[in-house]
Structure 1
Amino acid sequence: MKFGLKTLLTAAVVAALAGCNANNSVNTNQANAAVVSAIQSSERPEAHRARDKYRNPLETLEFFGLQSDMTVVEITPGGGWYSEILAPTLKGKGTLYAAHFPADSEIGYYKKSLASFKDKVANDPRYSEVKVTEFFPVTHLDIAPASSADMVLTFRNVHNWYMQKDHEGLLSAFKAFNKALKPGGILGVVEHQLPEDRDDAQQKSSGYMKLSYVVDVAKQAGFELVAQSDINANPKDSADHPKGVWTLPPHLTMGEEQAEKYKAIGESNRMTLKFKKL
């Protein structure tokens, strides 16, 4: 099933009127207020705020069903674009695990990114309760204690794991997410979307993935797709660019060459998928 944002919001209202659990409603409302506060925080860099129109953090986290007292694992948080929203939302009530790059990695970018993130945890009050763990397909899979998490979230990472470790790596990642989640726990995935009629081989180089393939891997790992949304869709994106998804903002890897053209397109067309652990 595919839902537009208006449909999702209408469904939420109907569910509430039908008598959803009152405690869940309170927790969700608290989470939404906390998310809004984190998004609007003056501590967020302007460059991060500028991307809200493409990443739709409030609508995305509402769609996944985030509540302020949950135990949540964010996978490969990088510089912490979503962490700076999730950490304040969960602080004091829930728990945030940040499954970052492995500490034993020899890759310079990974080492620098992890060190920067750990510095935020040590020195930025917003991150003071974040628990840093490690993740990398096949080799580093203990992202949180088994069956401890209510929700696992990953944003624009799936293509990296597939490009690095092929199907085996991607499946190992989803199995790690399943292991960390409680029965019935939620896996939220946002990923650059490749049209279904394209050659599968493009998934190895373009940065885009087919929705059907992502869903299939998740099912193999013990998940059920419960909903999908066009919250992060961008119909202007053809997913056919000289340097893959990195041609578009924010990377603009073509440099000044046709930069305005790609800025006009905006960030990538993205699938937004909600899975449940069986």
Structure 2
Amino acid sequence: RHPAQTLAFFGLDAGQTVIEITPGGGWYSEILAPALKGDGQLVGAIVNAGAVEDERARGYYERSNQGLRDKLAGNADVYGGMTLVEFDTGSPNFGESGSADLVLTFRNVHNWTGNGYDEAMFNGFFDVLKSGGVLGVVEHRAAEGTSAEDSAKSGYLTESYVIGLAEKAGFQLAEKSEINANPADTKDHANGVWTLPPVLRVPEGEDKAKYEAIGESDRMTLKFVKP
């Protein structure tokens, strides 16, 4: 996942206010929290589970949020400076307008697209960032020309679709990087991106080692700026 190169590309600096969107198990938080402790501020934005109508999804977010809270509470030396803010997916608000230097999202956009609130999320990012602030996006990359329907099923999105979302919200594309590219990913797996590590949802009868050898998905790495 090349975190050092990825965060350097996005312009991470120790004095910034950084919002990490849906940190999940805190893989990146474990790197960001120590880097920002003291001079900066790390905010983890998590879904308000109580506002989620679908029972299965609500249960998932409840478990995920509690797991992250437990992780933070269990290691104050690392996470002591990190705060959490809940947002509603229908009208996401990530903090005071113009308060953040950097918003980061890793492998999340396909979930928002699949559930119909991707535009609302990007509008929320634009609102919370300062003028000149950066939105950093890492996402599973589909081949250009892949339909939205196929993308939703596979977990991959085209670069042009993600760039379009950001530009519609008001962002300007500053730079692209191939830091997280994986040319070995054929993107035609039976269970979509989840066939590959780290999930490894391998179809019955197939060789797991084949997918482990491919590695994690081919990913776009996009840097946007709020004018």
Q: Same fold (TM over 0.5)?
A: yes
**Structure 2 partner of 1:109:** 60
3-state SS of 1:138 partner:
coil
Equivalent residues of 1:97, 1:144 under 8 A apart: no
The structure that is helix-richer by fraction is 1
Matched, 1:211 2:159: yes
For 1:69, the equivalent position in structure 2 comes to 15
Q: Contact between 2:195 and 2:211, CA under 8 Å: does it hold in 1? A: yes
Aligned-pair CA distance for 1:109: 1.5
Q: 1:136 to 1:210 in 2, by over 3 A?
A: farther
2:168 to 220, 243, 247: 220
Residue 132 of structure 1 pairs with residue 84 of structure 2: yes
TM-score for the superposition, normalised by structure 1: 0.77
Counterpart of 2:173 in 1: which secondary structure?
A: strand
* 1:244 maps to 2:192: yes
Once superposed, what is the RMSD of the aligned Cα atoms?
Answer: 1.3
Find the partner of 1:78 among 24, 39, 42. 24
1:185 to 118, 133, 151: 133
User: What TM-score do you get using the length of structure 2 for normalisation?
Assistant: 0.93
Deviations 1:15-65 (A, max 9, x none): xxxxxxxxxxxxxxxxxxxxxxxxxxxxxxxxxxxxxxxx10000000001
CA offsets 1:86-137 (integer angstroms, 9 cap, x no match): 0110001100110012141452121011011112232312111111012343
Q: Which runs of 4+ in 1 moved over 6 A?
A: none
Q: Give me the whole-angstrom Cα distance separating, in 2, the residues matched to 1:266 and 1:123.
A: 31
The SS at the match of 2:201 is coil
Q: How many residues align?
A: 220
**Structure 2 counterpart of 1:267, from 216, 219, 227:** 216
CA shift for structure 1 position 197:
2.8
Bigger mean CA offset, 114-123 vs 225-234: 114-123
- Aligned equivalents of 1:237, 1:136: Cα separation in 2: 34
- Quick one: distance in 1 between partners of 2:88 and 2:176? 26
Residue 114 of structure 2: aligned partner = 163
Rounded Cα–Cα distance in structure 2 between residues aligned with 1:99 and 1:227: 25
Matched, 1:201 2:153: no
Per the alignment, residue 17 of structure 1 pairs with: none
- For the pair 1:172 / 2:120, whether they are aligned, the reply is yes
Whether contact under 8 Å (1:230, 1:272) holds in the other structure is yes
Contiguous gaps of at least 5 residues in structure 1 = 1-54
In 1, are the aligned partners of 2:47 and 2:89 still within 8 Å (CA)? no
Return the index of the structure with the highest Cα Rg.
1
Distance apart, 1:264 and its partner CA? 0.8
**5+ long unaligned stretches in structure 2:** none
Between the aligned partners of 2:65 and 2:215, the Cα distance in structure 1 is 28
* CA distance in 2 between partners of 1:201 and 1:121 (Å): 37
